Amino acid sequence: MVDIGVGYGMIAIAAGLAMGLSALAAAIGEMAIGSAAVGATAEDRDMFGKGLILTVLPETLAIFGLVVAVLLWLKIP
Amino acid sequence: MGLKAEPMTRVLIVVPKDKVPAATSALYDLQLLHVHDHVEGRDGLALGHPLKGASVASEMLIRLRAMIATLEIPEVTVDMRRPITSLMEELEAKFDHLEHEIETLGDNRNRLRAETRNIEQQMKNLEPYISLGLDLDVYRDYETLEVIVGNLTGDPWKVLRNAKIPFELFKAKDASKTGLFALFIEQDRTDEVRAIIGEFNFTPVPSFEGKGDPRTMRVRLKEKLAKVNSSLEEVELDLKTIRKVHGESLFAAEEHLSIQIEKAESPLRCGSTPNALFVEGWVPTKRMADLEGTLTDAVGDSYHIEVLTDEELTGHSTAAVAADGGEPTSEEEEEAEHFDTSKETPVLSTNPEGFKAYEYLIKLVSTPRYDEIDPALFMYFTFPLFFALMVGDIGYGITFIILGFWMLNSKWKGVGIVTGITRRRLTKMIMMSGLFTIFTGLMYGEFFGLELFGTHGLVWPHYLYVPALDVYLPINRLEQAMLMINLCIYIGIAHMIHGLCLGIVNTNHHHGLKHAILGKFSWILIIIGGYFVFRILFTADEVVMTEPVMMSGLILMITGIIMLIAGEGGGGLLELPGIVSNILSYTRLFAIGLSSLGIAMTFNTLGGIMVSKGGAMIIVGLIVAFLGHFINILLALLAPSLHALRLHYVEWMTKFYTGGGREYEPFGRERIYTEV
């Protein structure tokens, strides 16, 4: 086993938290939008495209999380 | 080409009353004029009256539609269009006779269908009585006895015995119907008994009118049903024959009559005086001659056509208000001034066929306005680029192109809203994206998740150094994450500045140059200045405020902010953090690609481990890898395309797009089953 030190371990945990928590937040956002979008589509089929786009809007959060995680991960040698 | 909508001319056509039928008919068949619906009283004009013959045609159409409904004709496709004169003559000759025949057959069919249902219901009701086995007369006509037939669960009979209620019980013979029973009791104790069995989930069985053995009854009902069914079949066969012989012509006549009625009712969309009809609408400017030629052919010289300019229109509306009731108030005047030609004028896009798929995607948000830049042209290049930057795999790119060819040639009709021409257009869009994906795949050196060339390349373990950019090609997305993030941010900045430039053009056209510079150009300054400032803040070891790059960045940014406040007030500042998140949002070009690459690599590793075990595991390993890539390709069609769209809709189009235009829908319709 290679000893990578506590500091690097902390970085790894931080990267994991950044990814996981932001994905969770994105999921909570998509939950509400997704159900509303399905409802709208049921009433009017033309809403499908708009609903789909609105549903992926909160995914930005997860992407920010991933970017932060990658930046942290690059600090580990 | 493509950027601007087809130029439209607003015209007013005046036709004398006696020429109205010829004129409207000609305009309808021309399918060129987008009619601006008249509102009762505007310009002091009343609504027109439907032409003579409308009510006769309507009545015939209703009867015809009833016939079509009775014949249950599905949508038919015909190879040959029928000439209307012979069609209508033929139909009129046989109409009454045919209608009578169809009506009689239809009535018969409905009666027989009802009878079938009735007999089937009776047979179902009879079922429990067959299980009980008693004669049907036994259940009825008692003076002192009450009979209860039904289902229940459990054993209420003990309770009845304990309550000292005399009864006689018959249970179903077959084991499958344990809860079924017939209970004979004294009439005056009925309520008591019902209360007791009510606690054992009692559900009554409907009574059955009839005599004798229920099994004989069943045989009799079966015979009756067979008889009714055979007559029903006969009737349906007759109807089918009629459908075969006359179906197509009825369908064609329906189309012709609908068109006749639409023509006859068209004056309802126009203004009129006792002697003339005023048709107002838009025509594509380059086809004005067609319109005038058609009218001349139809009515000779007896029409007047006038081109309305924007100024006339504004004055025109004010005049209308004044004509309505005295002096126009200031509010009404203001409304007249804001008569918005850009919103009212119908939009006919001039995009070549290749761009139509993107036009469709833009209309999902909103139809562009008449004098607004149509973004479809730019999306034609940027959408596949973004898609490809995310997927970036030679193998997947080739797969998309093969998939596209298959879709174009297959008989699969598509699902939901993605059918017909839209399906073809979207397929071509996927193929285009596939082509771009092959190029980005070369840039990343990836082939189905394997590193084909590059540092650890399987085929060519080398790389190229591009000194001008200080970049090693191919880019290994996993190892050069920082480079990818930077690349995404550059693309984001470029794309947003492009959006803002389009915004300058649009705003300049609508609100003038001052608004365009203060509202849009200021953002360009902020983005460029902000980029230099943040770049130094994040990367430099020591921040020196007086350094030239830092200074010029700060100056650009502050100038931009001052211009923004001048243009939009303090509220504009609230959008500053938004622009940062807009730019960072483009890092999804890297992030989504990473997840796609991750899935591909996982299945490659998994398959690779299995293959290395040898024997039958080689096949299992190949299947696992194949399925993994199959799923990943489906996901790649979904996620990257949605995110590429989102970058256009949210980050790009919000910088310049208003939308809310009206689509060009010319008066008239294409004949499918008939010809003049």
What tokens does B559 get? 């100038």
Q: Check whether B334 has a pLDDT greater than 60.
A: no
- Kindly indicate the confidence band of residue B314, based on its pLDDT and cuts at 50, 70 and 90: low
pLDDT at B504: 92
Compute the distance between CA of residue B48 and CA of residue B251 in angstroms, rounded to an integer: 30
Q: What separation in angstroms does the CA of B610 have from each of B402, B458, B616, B620? A: 28, 19, 9, 7
Which residue of A70, A74, A75, A76 is the best one to mutate when testing the B interface, meaning the one whose CB has the most B CBs within 10 A?
A70
Confidence class for position B463, pLDDT limits 50, 70, 90? confident
| Mean pLDDT confidence for B462-481 | 79
Mean pLDDT of all residues in B524-539: 89
The mean pLDDT value for B9-21 works out to: 88
pLDDT band for position B325 (cuts 50, 70, 90): very low
Interface check B3 vs A, CB under 8 A: no
**CA B347 – CA B658 distance, rounded (Å):** 14
From the DSSP assignment, how many helices (H) and strands (E) are in chain A? 3, 0
The stretch B541-552 carries a mean pLDDT of 82
Q: Which of B188-192, B311-315, B529-533, B580-584 shows the lowest mean pLDDT across its residues?
A: B311-315
Does A64 contact chain B (CB < 8 Å)?
yes
Asked if the interface predicted TM-score (ipTM) of this complex is over 0.85, the answer is no
Mean residue pLDDT of chain B comes to 84
**For strand B145-151 and strand B180-186, is the pairing parallel, antiparallel, or unpaired?**
antiparallel
Share of chain B above pLDDT 70, in %: 93
Q: Average pLDDT for residues A4-20, to the nearest whole number?
A: 89
Indicate yes or no: CB of A60 within 8 angstroms of CB of B588. yes
Q: How far is CA A77 from the centre of its chain?
A: 25
Nearest CA in chain A to B486: A67
Does B646 contact chain A (CB < 8 Å)? yes
Strands (E), B286-434: 304-308, 346-347, 414-415, 418-419
Residue B481 to residue A45, Cβ atoms within 8 A: no
DSSP secondary structure, B35-96, as one string: E----TTGGG-EEP-PPTTHHHHHHHHHHHHHHHHHHTPPP---SSPEEHHHHHHHHHHHHH
Measured from the Cβ of residue B529, the count of other Cβ atoms closer than 10 Å reads: 20
Convert B369-393 to b/e letters by CB count within 10 Å (16 or more is b).
bbbbbbbbbbbbebbbbbbbbbbbb
Q: With an 8 Å Cβ cutoff, is A76 touching chain B?
A: no
- A46 contacts in chain B (CB < 8 Å): 417
* Intervals of CATH 3.30.70 along chain B: 118-219
- Scan for tokens 């209970």, then name that residue: B183
Whole-angstrom Cα distance, residue B3 to residue B378? 9
pLDDT computed for residue B111 by the predictor: 93
**pLDDT category of residue B269 using cuts at 50, 70 and 90:** confident
B620: three-class secondary structure by DSSP: helix
Location of structure tokens 């018959």: B170
Determine contact, residues B316/B344, Cβ cutoff 8 Å: no
What is the pLDDT at residue B556?
A: 93
- Please give the pLDDT value at position B128: 87
Residue B336 pLDDT more than 60? Answer: no
Average pLDDT over residues B247-258: 84
Query: B587 contacts in A (CB within 8 Å)?
Result: 63-64, 67
Assess B643–A contact: CB distance below 8 Å, yes or no: yes
User: Hey, is the C-beta of B415 within 8 angstroms of any chain A C-beta?
Assistant: no
In a mutational test of the B interface, the residue from A53, A57, A72, A74 whose CB has the highest number of chain B CBs within 10 Å is A53
Does a cis peptide bond (omega within 30 degrees of 0) precede residue B128?
A: no
Percent of chain B with pLDDT over 90: 19
User: DSSP letters of B109-134?
Assistant: HHHHHHHHHHHHHHHHHHHHHHHH--
Best of A22, A56, A68, A71 to substitute, by most chain B Cβ atoms within 10 angstroms, is A56
B334/B461: higher pLDDT: B461
For the segment(s) B118-219, the CATH number from 3.40.1000, 2.60.120, 3.40.50, 3.30.70 is: 3.30.70
| DSSP code per residue over B300-335 | TT--EEEEEPHHHHHHHHHHHHHHHSSSPPHHHHHH
Q: Mutate which of A67, A75, A76 to disrupt the B interface (most B C-beta within 10 Å)? A: A67
Q: Name every chain B residue with its beta carbon within 8 A of the beta carbon of A71.
A: 482, 485
Gap between the Cα atoms of B527 and B524, Å rounded: 5
pLDDT band at B434 (very low <50, low <70, confident <90, very high): very high
Q: Are strands B346-347 and B662-663 parallel, antiparallel or unpaired?
A: parallel
Q: Is the pLDDT of residue B674 over 90?
A: no
The radius of gyration of chain B's CA atoms, rounded to the nearest angstrom, is 39
| A4 in B contact zone (CB under 8 Å) | no
Contacts of B485 in chain A (CB under 8 A): 67, 70-71
pLDDT of residue B546: 79
When mean pLDDT is compared across B16-30, B39-53, B94-108, B292-306, the lowest value belongs to B39-53
| Cα dihedral B469, B474, B477, B478 sign | negative
- Cα–Cα distance measured from residue A62 to residue A68, given in angstroms and rounded to the nearest whole number: 10
**Mean pLDDT value of segment B325-352:** 61
- pLDDT per position as a tens digit, B117-150: 999 999 998 888 888 888 888 888 888 888 888 8
Q: Rounded CA gap, B611 and B605, in Å?
A: 10
What DSSP character marks residue B17?
G
Helix (H, G, I), strand (E, B) or coil at B673: coil
Q: Tokens at residue A11, please?
A: 């970085």
What are the extents of the domains in chain A? 7-42
Residues of B in contact with A66 (CB under 8 A): 591, 594
A23 touches chain B (CB under 8 A): no
End-to-end CA distance of chain A: 15
- A72 contacts on B by Cβ (under 8 Å): none
Residue B269 and residue B39 in contact, taking contact as beta carbons nearer than 8 Å: no
pLDDT at B36: 87
3-state secondary structure of B184: strand
Q: Does A74 touch chain B (CB under 8 A)?
A: yes
What whole-number distance in Å separates Cα of residue B502 and Cα of residue B654? 11
Over range B501-513, report the average pLDDT: 89
Strand B674-675 versus strand B82-83 pairing type = parallel
In DSSP terms, B171 is beta-bridged to B181
User: How many cross-chain Cβ pairs, A to B, lie less than 8 Å apart?
Assistant: 49
Does residue B537 have a pLDDT over 50? yes
pLDDT in the model for residue B47: 85
Residues 6+ apart with CB under 8 A from B26: B294, B295, B297, B298, B299
Q: What would the mean pLDDT of B308-320 be, rounded to a whole number?
A: 57
For A21-73, the pLDDT digits (tens) are 999 999 999 999 999 999 998 888 777 777 877 888 888 888 889 888 888 88
Confidence at residue B2, expressed as pLDDT on a 0 to 100 scale: 66
- pLDDT bin (cut points 50, 70, 90) of residue B327 is very low
Contacts of B279 (CB under 8 A, 6+ apart): B12, B13, B14, B15, B23, B24, B27, B33, B35, B270
Q: Which H or E element spans position B10? A: strand B8-16
Among B53, B111, B14, smallest CA distance to B307 is for: B14
User: Confidence class of residue B396 from pLDDT cuts 50, 70 and 90?
Assistant: very high
What is the pLDDT, as a whole number, of residue B673?
79
Q: Which residue in the set A50, A59, A64 is minimally distant from B364, CB to CB? A: A50
